[in-house]
A and B are shown apart, each in its own frame.
Chain A
């Protein structure tokens, strides 16, 4: 995968970001006018909803954790040139397996065993779900976008079936999910904040591990080599199919872990929207970060802030909270456009200087 704009200076990148932000700001304001909502209060309430208090900011961090985990997983698959759109379903299956293991710990004499087993189970589940999509790609030649997307719908179906079928709460089956787990099966949290420091540590460890893995190991190098030129990689004795499955397994593992954190640290049960679209959002995060791992944490934080900040919009302004998604999408599109425009201008400049040089040169007779 070619990385546009990676040669840019810090000043150039800053200018690009400013131009993009102004463009997105104008677009969003237009959308808000269309919806008949006052733009300034909307921006104010989003900012306040995300940064208004420490508790609100802790919600932002709570959204940042799964976003970071999914984004780290996506860095592996993007590195080898795969569109792991199935990350959403991998989060869901991770959550399902974590729930399945935790259920054995309810009223058990040793609940901690199942609590600690829930995480590896979720990682394996996410990996397995991703490997199915990877296998469909490498063996079945089904594009990973279709394979992953189909698997997402299947995972959603599995969750709904479990919640309304075998795992329904005694007496009532509803969209509010399975029965709440007893608090000895919760990820420990800071009292008053409902934020789990363990989840935060996991997200940071995932970031460091991914950075080291991609930068300093043979696997990371090979992923990059195949992503850059699969045919040349074959000549060097690398098997693209195997590495694709490996990248999918890593990506799915991180996504599955995100699912386990959602169950043990955030909702304490399985709900239909357990993945909260964080998988899809992580794809946007990594694209906006330009596939650069060090830009992923701030971009993920910004996106998490938009998501959390817009939750209040329906209450205070009677507009839908999906505004966050509009802003996020517009931002990625604008950055792609700005990159593209720079490339276009560079080509034109080069061409016009070549033309000038051709004119000035004495004609051969």
Chain B
């Protein structure tokens, strides 16, 4: 009764984490460029609905995924445009969009509720799938899951190993300096809000076409956007750490499903809402770690590069894993004078 097949469970974690991982990666890119796209929760629903409806009507999964990505990108673009060119609060615009896109999804999607539609089926990658243990965990998934795995590496590489990534980060850290170097911060922010939004749109499509196939009210994706927003903070605005957070989250979710079977006396509502107190608790731990690390390393040096300080090394390492600095200009639009 208590036996779990480890490789099946881990494969489930990889697949289950795919949508929240894609959304987290997208938001990480957007926030690295200095824009907070708070509309994730609604955007995921609207793109999930779009993906299902387009794929259902055209019988094409590719069109479904593309349409969803476009919807996500468009919404990211709206948030950035309101901030960069109209000087409006990103939080306000993002919040309104969260509510509006959610209602739009329910409104336009209601004729398609509980229909049986196409879905992306898992396929094994030849040769790689035969690697013992690892093969069955990583190489027998559907396309969007592979995409989410590749996305971790691509995001990391783009952000930290390309000149474009350097420009992206400079716009989020110090737009005035970037502007002086001949970079247009506004245009960069529009671009990366669009790119991040594309990934969030794919996250929605991954829900309705692969992980939780179909459309309904509730779809099952409700709340994911907020988790993704918290995971960006948990990941310290770093794609690899954010991915780690997404997998941890998916792992806990699966543990929750098992626990529900083992502890039938605990009401199901407890398991349904458990992610959210957990989210608050995690954010609380991170802010305490941040405070503690500020105390240990005075002068604002980050723990990943402690300057000539050797005490508490293990503690520093631990705190270093938990903390990360937000892009300095996050949420503050830049206006060249």
| Residue ranges of A at the interface with B (Cβ–Cβ < 8 Å) | 31, 34-36, 83, 85, 136, 140-143, 145-147, 149-151, 153-154, 156-158, 160-161, 164-165, 280, 283-284, 287, 319-320, 322-326, 328-330, 332-333, 336-337, 339-341, 343-344
Taking CB atoms and an 8 Å cut-off, the chain B residues in 266-284 that contact chain A are 267, 269-270, 272-273, 275-277, 279-280, 283-284
**By the criterion CB–CB under 8 Å, are B230 and A146 in contact?**
yes
CA distance A326 to B106 in the complex (A): 10
Cα separation A14 to B179 with both chains bound (whole Å): 38
With A150-B280, A325-B103 as known contacts, state yes or no: A340 contacts B82, CB within 8 Å.
Answer: yes
Given known pairs A136-B284, A157-B273, A164-B269, the reply for A336 and B96 (CB within 8 Å) is yes
Quick one: closest A residue to B113, CB to CB? Answer: A320
Q: How far is the CA of A157 from the CA of B276 in the complex (A)?
A: 10
Cross-chain contact A83 with B91 (CB below 8 angstroms):
yes
A sample of 14 inter-chain contacts (CB < 8 A) reads: A83-B91, A141-B287, A146-B280, A151-B276, A153-B223, A154-B276, A157-B270, A165-B267, A322-B106, A325-B99, A336-B92, A337-B82, A340-B85, A343-B87
Q: Which of B86, B107, B223 is in CB contact (< 8 Å) with A323?
A: B107
- Give B230's nearest chain A residue, CB to CB: A146
Apart from A136-B280, A337-B86: 11 A-B pairs, beta carbons within 8 A: A35-B108, A140-B288, A141-B287, A146-B230, A149-B276, A161-B269, A164-B267, A322-B104, A329-B103, A333-B93, A344-B87
Q: Say yes or no: is B241 at the interface (Cβ < 8 Å to chain A).
A: no
Contact B284 A142 (CB under 8 A): yes
Chain A binding surface SS class: helix
Q: Count of A-B contacts with CB under 8 A?
A: 134
In whole angstroms, what is the CA distance A157 to B87 when docked? 38
CB-based contact A160/B269 at 8 Å: yes
- With A146-B226, A154-B277 as given contacts, are A333 and B87 in contact (CB-CB < 8 Å)? no
B102 on interface, CB distance cutoff 8 Å:
yes
Assess the A31–B107 pair: CB atoms within 8 A.
yes
Partner of A153, one of B102, B110, B273: B273
Question: Are the C-beta atoms of A280 and B99 separated by less than 8 Å?
Answer: yes
Taking residues whose C-beta sits less than 8 angstroms from the other chain, chain B's interface range is 35 or more
CB distance from A76 to the nearest CB of B (A): 18
Q: Is the CB of A150 within 8 A of B85?
A: no
A162 nearest in chain B by CB position: B269
| In the bound complex, CA of A50 to CA of B140 (Å) | 54
Q: Which of A151, A165, A322, A332 contacts B96 (CB 8 A)?
A: A332
Bound form: Cα–Cα A140–B290 in Å: 11
Whether A343 contacts B223 in the complex (CB less than 8 A), given A35-B108, A325-B103, A333-B96, comes out as no
Q: Is A320 a contact of B82 with CB atoms below 8 Å?
A: no
* Docked pose: A157 CA to B223 CA in angstroms: 13
Q: Please provide the 5 A-B residue pairs with the shortest distance between their CB atoms, ordered closest to farther.
A: A340-B86, A329-B100, A325-B103, A157-B273, A141-B287
CB proximity to A under 8 Å, residues B29-53: 38
Assess whether A320 is in contact with B110, with CB atoms less than 8 Å apart: yes
Q: Which residues of A contact B108 (CB under 8 A)?
A: 31, 34-35
CB <8 Å contact, B284 and A336: no
Contact B283 A146 (CB under 8 A): yes
Q: Complex Cα distance A281/B273, Å?
A: 22
State A34–B53 Cα separation when bound (angstroms).
12
Q: How far is the CB of B68 from chain A (nearest CB, A)?
A: 16
> Which residues on the A side are within 8 Å of B226 (C-beta)?
146, 149-150
Q: Give Cα A136 to B285, complex, Å.
A: 11
